[in-house]
Structure 1
């Protein structure tokens, strides 16, 4: 009888999201207070367990120590790219053919080597692309060539068309062209567009006629900027842009490692898109296409619509306030999950607020 009582208590103190069990209900409440479980977390299509990232979900399904039942079903009906579980092996085969992208981006990208392409235009409303991806290639400056200098930049739209491509003349001398990976030679930069001019063009295009201080997360004319490691790229170009409009695949929690460190773009492309990039001489167009495809895949996820989806929304501020401890302890794990909200902005919200 005692065993049955303990079993019931354990179930009562089991997190409805990640299934972690606690000895006391107050410990479960504290777990929910700091975990920010939500409908936006990657979720196992078999047991419905919430995972903090797609990497932790991947480990749950096909890692070194997966959940056996989920692993067996996933091996039969699961897509190794988006980690969805389909109805049948045949459905999985059809789905995976569409889910795996081809790696032919470089063919188009190599055309960008032919010279400058500049379609940067400022226009209000819905005219022109509202989401753009940017990628840069760096050469080395300084006495040891370790200082990153932007020498090539490429912007593409949602349809993977090149909006802007240019070699960039750095403001200080180049001491290492890093030819093995950049393919850049001194003559390519001799008459290249000066960095200041590139900076102004890109910044004006991103703001799209909207003053920087009025740019907001939702609505407005400013464009959404997609990339990988954008803090570094923007710093090298000396461009300032509002964080609310940046979608960085290196810092997006669902795409990070279980240790909360960034995955490389090369790994993300291979694991989630199904092809290889950055082999030999690297083209910024390929990187831009990969980040745009990753962004579109994350944005296209369908999650439950909530009026106030973020923990930081004022309406959610007191959901797990310490003064509500007694009330929270009377809730079931499912009720606590219902009022829990995400601590990051899920890109699926872009399709709702910035269609």
Structure 2
């Protein structure tokens, strides 16, 4: 009985099944891979970091894992270390501090007026760009999102481009409490068409958009939170294979598969607070960039079996192999499994 139970236990998430056919079906739909967050104590693989957090420090954690984690675990990256002193040394590099100086103070140091445009696109050699837009409201009830401010930041956390944008329809709600935007900011703002062209130039990095390919391209990786909505409001098109959206990245989503806010993700995984009062687009850009860079270097082994979501998904458990699959061990079944999303750690290899 023990051997049967062990044989029908998933080697990744440790779920147990009465029949081996049920285990195989679980492997078909679970898409376990080496890129999933893993508990450093029991080696259980979790679908997201939120699942791993619940496993370690949630309301009903695994007792032994929680005990070890409380002594030797980092509550930001959720890794386990050899000793408590190693954890203390690690936290000095793992926990970020806030940006300290927001966009307005940076502009004042550069002798740039608050309503002016910053354009350092020609000087940036960054391969990754973070983009954040701030919306004002249009329409009769002010619920229509109109892009009124955009900020792009490079890997060095310096501003590449910032501009106030003149909306193409009348603004009925400036949402000042969160955006800090006033009518005078938009009076002499940059026309939307001009902003669109400039952002496209910065992102494509001198390469025609129709020539951009997933590998070997000069175009820049674009990250942000809710980036699809921002690009839609800007009216800018960009290849999806170069977009890294913090809001839709499976390891950073809730266990319910809904998006976490940028404010929560920054506090939980970077260790500082943002968006207290008026939202600073520079601060949001830096937070999104730091989250992307943290997810890009998680220390995963490279998954050659499935390409980790890079390309069309393949069924590694076809029905015609059912008898062969039933004779395999749980570990062998796991070796066939592959992720259903593109892990950002693969960006480091491209």
TM-score (norm 2): 0.94
Candidates 80, 86, 91, aligned match of 2:81 = 86
Task: Tell whether the 8 Å contact from 1:308 to 1:316 is kept in structure 2 after alignment.
Answer: no
Residue in 2 that maps onto 1:262:
259
Candidates 130, 154, 176, aligned match of 1:133 = 130
Closer, same or farther: CA 169–313 of 1 in aligned 2, 3 Å: closer
2:332 aligned counterpart, secondary structure: helix
Is 2:237 aligned against 1:240?
yes
**CA deviation vs aligned residue, 1:10-37 (integer Å, no higher than 9, x gap):** 1110000000000000110111111110
**CA deviation vs aligned residue, 1:234-292 (integer Å, no higher than 9, x gap):** 01000111110000000000000000000000000000001111111111001100000
Residue in 1 that maps onto 2:288:
291
d(CA) in 2 for partners of 1:322, 1:311 = 22
Residue in 2 that maps onto 1:345:
342
Per-residue deviation at 1:175? 0.8
1:250 aligned counterpart, secondary structure: helix
Is 2:250 aligned against 1:249?
no
Is 2:138 aligned against 1:149?
no
d(CA) in 2 for partners of 1:308, 1:170 = 48
Residue in 1 that maps onto 2:327:
330
d(CA) in 2 for partners of 1:276, 1:98 = 17
- Trace 1:116-265 onto structure 2 (pairs within 5 A): 116-121=117-122, 128-265=125-262
1:160 aligned counterpart, secondary structure: coil
**CA deviation vs aligned residue, 1:302-338 (integer Å, no higher than 9, x gap):** 1112334436567983521111111111110001111
Task: Tell whether the 8 Å contact from 1:210 to 1:222 is kept in structure 2 after alignment.
Answer: yes
d(CA) in 2 for partners of 1:107, 1:138 = 18
d(CA) in 2 for partners of 1:345, 1:13 = 28
2:247 aligned counterpart, secondary structure: coil
Task: Tell whether the 8 Å contact from 1:311 to 1:340 is kept in structure 2 after alignment.
Answer: no
Closer, same or farther: CA 311–273 of 1 in aligned 2, 3 Å: closer
**CA deviation vs aligned residue, 1:29-86 (integer Å, no higher than 9, x gap):** 1111111100000000010000000000000000001000000000011000000111
TM-score (norm 1): 0.93
d(CA) in 2 for partners of 1:265, 1:247 = 14
d(CA) in 1 for partners of 2:311, 2:122 = 37
Residue in 2 that maps onto 1:3:
none
d(CA) in 1 for partners of 2:189, 2:103 = 21
d(CA) in 1 for partners of 2:43, 2:104 = 40
Per-residue deviation at 1:159? 1.1
d(CA) in 2 for partners of 1:109, 1:346 = 35
Candidates 302, 307, 313, aligned match of 2:304 = 307
Residue in 2 that maps onto 1:37:
32
d(CA) in 2 for partners of 1:221, 1:295 = 19
d(CA) in 2 for partners of 1:147, 1:316 = 37
d(CA) in 2 for partners of 1:105, 1:295 = 20
d(CA) in 1 for partners of 2:311, 2:187 = 54
**CA deviation vs aligned residue, 1:84-115 (integer Å, no higher than 9, x gap):** 11111111111112211101344456424633
Closer, same or farther: CA 315–280 of 1 in aligned 2, 3 Å: closer
Task: Tell whether the 8 Å contact from 2:34 to 2:303 is kept in structure 1 after alignment.
Answer: no
Candidates 281, 285, 289, aligned match of 2:278 = 281
